[in-house]
Every structure is written in C-alpha cells, then in structure tokens.
Amino acid sequence: MCLAIPALIVSVDGNCANVDFGQGVLRSVNISLVNAKIGEYVIVHAGYAIQVVTEEDAKETLKMWNTILETGQPP
C-alpha cells in the first residue's frame, strides 16, 4: 500500500523544500514535479511532492489521519 501525506511548504531551495507534516515534523522533499511555493500544501509520496492541494483539502486529510492514529479506526 502506498501513502501520500499533505505537508505545508515552509522554505524552498531550488528543487528541495522543507515541509511541515504537522506537530513540528519537518522533512526535506523534492518539489521538481510540481510548481509549489512557500505557504502552499503539497501531497508528498516517497520524498517527492506530487501535487499541490488547497489548504482546506490538506487540513481535512490531516484531520482524518489524526482520527485514525488516535482511535485506530477510520472516521
């Protein structure tokens, strides 16, 4: 099974961006596949940003993930 998680871009350096997956979890990802800027949300899979998403969609997805992690059950 493959997972892709939304993350907020906090800085950009060429084709790499530092992204925040929430709760201060920062990682470097490759953004060469998308046209993304600081302050935008992207979907990250295997270290690559694969799609830019709206803040609303990203937050809804993160909310669902948090529910699953907290309860062990889907929302």
Q: Which has more confidence, 70 or 32?
A: 32
Domains of the chain by residue range: 5-71
Q: Comparing C-alpha atoms, which of 61, 24, 23, 70 is closest to residue 41?
A: 61
Record the pTM.
0.88
Q: What is the dihedral of CA 54, 67, 11, 44, to 10 degrees?
A: -70
**pLDDT digits over 39-75, tens only?**
999 999 999 999 999 999 999 998 998 898 888 887 7
The DSSP call for residue 14 is T
Average pLDDT, the chain: 93
Q: CATH top-level class for 5-71? A: mainly beta
